[in-house]
Amino acid sequence: MVCFPYDDLESWCGGHFPEEVLEKQFVEMSVKWQEGLSLLRRLAPRIPSGKRVLFEDMCNVAESAGCHFSSAACQIRFIRRRSGRDYAELVSLLDAEIDNAKRLAAVVRKDSRIGFEASNHYCYTYADLIEKVLNCEHIKTGIIRKYIR
């Protein structure tokens, strides 16, 4: 499968492991990936000028992959918790997803390859990511108005 898990976590688990394991793995992968991105950013000043374009290219791809991992983790957590009563956590997950979409949109503006996947063509575009921010804000506003006053 390609793209994001949406609401079908059972299919994404493939009957091989429980949803908790899927969530744990994506959260852990996202955290570790962010640690790697921090390391890359710290190395930036050491990159020779003749290699900066290649380094920036690698950073763009790494940033987009990190956004994908984090987004999948957020979506899995949101899907698993949305029928509960921890509305503050749902809002926090939406805020994280908004941040993911904004970060990914910034990368897409720099590199049009991001979001392209051969079997799907463009999985998402810059406009899709901006729409995602608006959708998450709308859901967040609905939760806040209805449950958090």
Please give the pLDDT value at position 89. Answer: 96
4 confidence band (pLDDT: 50, 70, 90): low
Pairwise CA distance, residues 78 & 89, whole Å:
9
Q: Where are the domains of the chain?
A: 11-147
Whole-angstrom Cα distance, residue 94 to residue 136?
A: 6
- pLDDT, one tens digit per residue, over 14-68 is 888 899 999 999 999 999 999 999 999 999 999 999 999 999 999 999 999 999 9
The count of C-alpha atoms lying within 13 angstroms of the C-alpha of 6, restricted to the half-sphere facing its C-beta, is 5
- Cβ contact 25:12 at 8 Å: no
Give the number of other CB atoms < 10 A from CB of residue 53. Answer: 10
Nearby residues of 16 by Cβ (< 8 Å), 6 or more positions away: none
Question: pTM of the predicted model, to two decimals?
Answer: 0.89
- Does residue 6 or residue 12 have the better pLDDT? 12
